[in-house]
Amino acid sequence: MKKGDHLFLVDGSGYIFRAYHALPPLNRKSDGLPTSAVLGFCNMVWKLMQDARNTNVGIVPTHFAVIFDYSSKTFRSDLYPEYKANRSAPPEDLIPQFGLIRQATVAFNLPCIEMEGFEADDIIATYCRLACEVGADTTIISSDKDLMQLVGPTVGMYDPMKDRQIGIPEVIEKWGVPPEKMIDLQALTGDSVDNVPGVPGIGPKTAAQLLEQFGDLDGLLARASEIKQDKRRETIIANADKARISRQLVTLKNDVPLKERLDDLVLHAPDGPKLIGFLKTMEFTTLTRRVAEATATEIGDVQASAVIVERADAAHGPDVGAGAPPRQAVPQSNGDAKPASPATRGEDAPPQGDTPSLLSALRLEQASASKIDPSAYAPIRDAAALKAWIAEAREAGILAFDAETSSSDPMQADLIGLSMAIASGRAVYVPLAHKNGNGDLLGGGMLENQIPVREALALLKPLLEDRSVLKIVQDMKYDIVVMSRHGIEVGPFDDTMLISYVLDAGTSGGHDLASLSEKWLGHAPASKKELAGSGKSAIGFDQVDIERATAYAGEQADLALRLWQLLKPRLAAKGLVSVYERLERPLVPVLARMEQRGISVDRQILSRLSGELAQGAARVEEEIYGIVGERINIGSP
């Protein structure tokens, strides 16, 4: 490694727990193996590596490593037995994922580094020192405050969850002290998550004020008698030894005897087949496709690779066999536990909503693995069944629905039926006005076993207007007009077509349901032409067999719900929530009312104006041709 090189050091243990806390449970379909933390980790690393190779991003690493904690027992435990002793054992569903994540790191063609007796932070500190000595730059991929003591002119941090660079100014802004005083600040404040005692009652703001006044911890303790506040003075004097031991606990060692040298951390391109083999084993379909495309690898040519899965009772030693990658460590006893509550998570555990990119990625993975089976949808043909469904929808608090009508013009459309969904694959269709297709020229008489329109809408009106139930619709403006003509003001709502437009207005591809379904779900939905035909032989939707209509209409609501589940988090991930919530969505009912009310037009005046404008345009065109000296295409850009 030399001057001008750039080292990326990923806090692997921090990644694990961020992924675990941020994402809902996910299990491998084939055997139920918990994989949510593995998926979150893989998505984060893949994005980081893709960004790292994009020269437009700014920082392009030449060296790269992922650093893990070996176990909870380190030299700090010998120094202070209570250190991290307050943590509970790792959750059972996380234990088998520790080893899988280390294997994932190897599959990504990245160094996977850990060392017995030391924490990942100590290894990171040592690599930072070595890189500084040769004049290279370092970026630590983490937001952990424990690592901020390392920030300097050639060492920065990057929080991938918030896409935020952390340098000297950011440390000062956050904590009120420069990086070189972070050790003393932490010695005073302590850390309840790691059981670092600190000085009781001293928070970050007070600690920063004291360090600004007295210079450093030693100066503060030596001149504690000068503190004006009685209680604060007495507390610091009484807990001086705790402050000193805390300083030892939070100070990172930068002389760890490393096995891997800096030159061993050179960043290599991903090995497509190797990585895809691991991802296929994990059944991460969407990420597998992305990697295959980026590495020009044919998925069908790659076999799923063998992985080693640790037992949930592996607290006394990992269950590994021959051929294992670097030690598949299960964090021992309480050192790497999932905190009992959000209040004790510490700096590295974000709240659920802090990782919309991961949530979107996970939902996309779930959507890819979830089967869409139109034959599973059921018709509702009596009031009792409809009442039961309405009760389920209220309990779910969410309802995707779609109005099936006789026309694309909402002001002229007759209501034929309503489809609704409350969960993926859980959809129904309520036929209201289907006719016997074998009757007279007007389409025959009404089919039996349908709820009368007025009765059905009277039952549905309270649900569709219930402010506690979110309605999901594709192209809400159309449905607002249709339903309002029946005295129903639908709300609140989310519009999947509008969300897609906000996210990807400038990209190719449509925002209709079929286009979105194929793009995001890999599923081509049935079309009305397939049901009703086209041309002279076409029939109205009200003449389509109810069983076939149920499969089609139920799929429409089901797809809208699935699309909403994976597209909505992308708004937050791309910083477009405000555009959607405050600008685009509020306009939908406004535009719907405008369409309903229309405008008054005097056709004679409009016709005369049209003629005058056409004559004026022709006159200007002739003037242009005269000036140019020849006839040209004036309309050309």
Taking only the tens place, the pLDDT of each residue in 114-173 is 998 899 999 999 999 999 999 999 999 998 899 999 999 999 998 877 778 899 999 999
| 8 A C-beta contact, residue 532 and residue 553 | no
Let me know if 627 is exposed, middle or buried by CB neighbors in 10 A (0-12, 13-18, 19+): exposed
pLDDT at 441: 47
Per-residue pLDDT, averaged over 481-506, amounts to 92
Looking at 53-161, list the stretches that DSSP marks H as alpha helix, in order from N- to C-terminal side. 75-79, 95-107, 120-133
Shared domain for 416 and 545, answered yes or no, is yes
pLDDT at 636: 86
199 belongs to a structural domain = no
Residue written as token pair 């099936």: 404
Shared domain for 408 and 276, answered yes or no, is no
Residue 320 has pLDDT above 90, yes or no: no
151 in the Ramachandran plot: left (φ > 0), alpha (ψ -120 to 50) or beta?
beta
Residue 326 has pLDDT above 50, yes or no: no
Helix (H, G, I), strand (E, B) or coil at 7: strand
Residue written as token pair 């992922």: 66
pLDDT at 89: 75
| 8 A C-beta contact, residue 498 and residue 344 | no
Question: Picking from 67-81, 286-300, 403-417, 467-481, which range would have the lowest pLDDT averaged per residue?
Answer: 67-81
369 pLDDT tier (thresholds 50, 70, 90): low
Residues contacting residue 376 through CB under 8 Å, at least 6 positions apart: 425, 427
324 pLDDT tier (thresholds 50, 70, 90): very low
pLDDT at 368: 62
**Residue-by-residue DSSP string for 247-284:** HHHHSPPS----SS-GGGGB-----HHHHHHHHHHHT-
The dihedral of CA 95, 100, 102, 108: what is its sign? negative
Residue 55 has pLDDT above 90, yes or no: no
129 belongs to a structural domain = no
Shared domain for 434 and 513, answered yes or no, is yes
113 belongs to a structural domain = yes
- What does the alpha-carbon distance between residue 444 and residue 438 come to, in Å, rounded to a whole number? 6
- What does the alpha-carbon distance between residue 333 and residue 341 come to, in Å, rounded to a whole number? 18
- What does the alpha-carbon distance between residue 180 and residue 41 come to, in Å, rounded to a whole number? 31
Listed ranges 55-64, 328-337, 393-402; the one with the highest mean pLDDT: 393-402
Shared domain for 406 and 508, answered yes or no, is yes
Per-residue pLDDT, averaged over 455-469, amounts to 93
Q: How many domains does the chain have?
A: 3
The 10s digit of each residue's pLDDT in 412-461 is 999 999 999 999 889 999 999 998 865 444 556 888 889 999 999 999 99
Q: How many residues does the chain have?
A: 637
CATH number of the domain residue 448 falls in: 3.30.420.10
- What does the alpha-carbon distance between residue 583 and residue 48 come to, in Å, rounded to a whole number? 32
Question: Picking from 67-71, 444-448, 551-555, 603-607, which range would have the lowest pLDDT averaged per residue?
Answer: 444-448
81 belongs to a structural domain = yes
281 pLDDT tier (thresholds 50, 70, 90): very high
DSSP 579: I
Higher pLDDT, 370 or 401: 401
431 belongs to a structural domain = yes
Shared domain for 397 and 515, answered yes or no, is yes
- What does the alpha-carbon distance between residue 238 and residue 224 come to, in Å, rounded to a whole number? 10
Shared domain for 557 and 606, answered yes or no, is no
Q: Which structural domain, as residue segments, surrounds residue 266?
A: 1-118+256-346
Per-residue pLDDT, averaged over 539-551, amounts to 91
- In 287-442, DSSP assigns E strands to 378-379, 398-405, 415-423, 426-431
390 belongs to a structural domain = yes
Per-residue pLDDT, averaged over 508-517, amounts to 86
Per-residue pLDDT, averaged over 78-93, amounts to 80
160 belongs to a structural domain = no
Residue 573 has pLDDT above 70, yes or no: yes
Q: Nearest to residue 238, comparing CAs of 227, 249, 252?
A: 227
Residue 342 has pLDDT above 70, yes or no: no
319 pLDDT tier (thresholds 50, 70, 90): very low
* Mean pLDDT over each residue of the chain, to the nearest integer: 85
Residue 316 has pLDDT above 90, yes or no: no
Residue 566 has pLDDT above 90, yes or no: no
Shared domain for 526 and 397, answered yes or no, is yes
User: Over the range 515-548, which residues count as b (16 or more CB within 10 Å of their CB) and which as e?
Assistant: ebbebbbebebeeeeebbeeeeeeebbbbbebee
345 pLDDT tier (thresholds 50, 70, 90): very low
215 pLDDT tier (thresholds 50, 70, 90): very high
pLDDT at 635: 86
- In 115-248, DSSP assigns E strands to 137-141, 155-159, 164-166
Residue 347 has pLDDT above 70, yes or no: no
pLDDT at 387: 94
Q: What is the CB neighbour count within 10 angstroms for residue 618?
A: 9
pLDDT at 329: 35
Instruction: Enter the pTM of the model.
Output: 0.58
Structure tokens at 634: 């004036």
Listed ranges 144-153, 186-195, 332-341; the one with the highest mean pLDDT: 144-153
Residue 485 has pLDDT above 50, yes or no: yes
Higher pLDDT, 85 or 353: 85
The dihedral of CA 430, 436, 440, 441: what is its sign? positive
321 pLDDT tier (thresholds 50, 70, 90): very low
8 belongs to a structural domain = yes
- CA angle, residues 480, 483, 488, in degrees to nearest 5: 105
356 pLDDT tier (thresholds 50, 70, 90): low
Shared domain for 342 and 382, answered yes or no, is no
pLDDT at 355: 59
Shared domain for 417 and 338, answered yes or no, is no
Q: What is the CB neighbour count within 10 angstroms for residue 272?
A: 20
Shared domain for 319 and 434, answered yes or no, is no
Residue 350 has pLDDT above 80, yes or no: no
Express as a percent the part of the chain with pLDDT over 90.
54
Per-residue pLDDT, averaged over 316-339, amounts to 33
Residue 384 has pLDDT above 70, yes or no: yes
Shared domain for 476 and 524, answered yes or no, is yes
**Residue-by-residue DSSP string for 214-232:** HSSHHHHHHTGGG-SSHHH
pLDDT at 506: 72
CA 202, distance to chain mean position in Å, is 36
Shared domain for 331 and 470, answered yes or no, is no
